[in-house]
Structure 1
Amino acid sequence: MASGTLAKPQMRGLLARRLRIHIVGAFIVSLGVATLYKLGVAEPRKKAYADFYRNYGSMKDFEEMRKSAK
C-alpha cells in the first residue's frame, strides 16, 4: 500500500481572496443590471412622457373632463 503525503490546504487569507473575487463579480453584475434597467425601462419611459407632453393640451383636456361631468 503506497501512501503519499497530501499537500496542506491553504487556509490563511482564503476568505479575503474569495471575498475579493465575489465583490468584483457582484460589482460587474450590478453595473450590468443598472445598464439594462436604464436602457430597457428608464429611457423608454422618458421617451413616452416626452411624446405625451409634446402634443398635450391642458385646456382641451379640461374641457373634455368638464363636459363629461355634466
Structure 2
Amino acid sequence: MADKAVSVASKPVMRNLLHSNIKKNIIIALSLAGFCGFTFKQVVGNERKRKYAEFYRTYDAEKEFEEMRKKGLFQSC
C-alpha cells in the first residue's frame, strides 16, 4: 500500500523557459496596450473631438475680434 502512495515527480521544464515566458508576456503586454489605447480613444479622444466641434460650431471670429479691439489688445487697430 505504501508503494502506490509514492509518485515520481516530473522534471521541471528548463529548456526554452525564458523564451516561452517572454512570448507570453509580450502577448499580454500588446493586448493590454491595445485595449488601453482603444479605451483612451473612446473616452478621451471622442469627447475632445465633440467639444472641438461644438466650439467651432458656435464660434464667431468677428465678435471675438471686436472684443479684443475694445480691450486695446491691438496696436494697429
Using structure 1 for the length normalisation, give the TM-score: 0.84
CA–CA separation in structure 2 for the residues paired with 1:42 and 1:5: 57
Which of 49, 52, 69 pairs up with 1:49? Answer: 52
Query: Residue 31 in 1 paired to residue 27 in 2?
Result: no
Moved over 6 A (4+): none
Cα drift, residue 36 of structure 1: 1.0
Report how far residue 4 of structure 1 moved.
Answer: 7.3
Higher relative contact order (CA 8 A, sep 6+): 2
**Does structure 1 residue 68 correspond to structure 2 residue 32?**
no
Aligned-residue sequence identity (percent) comes to 37
In structure 2, runs of 5+ residues without a counterpart are 1-5
- What is the CA distance between 1:55 and its match in structure 2? 1.4
Q: 1:58 aligns to what?
A: 61
Alignment partner of 2:11: what SS? coil
Q: Aligned Cα RMSD in Å?
A: 1.9
Distance, in Å, in 2 between the alignment partners of 1:49 and 1:23 is: 36
Q: CA deviation at 1:26?
A: 0.4
TM-score computed with the length of structure 2 as normaliser: 0.77
Give SS of 1:9's match: coil
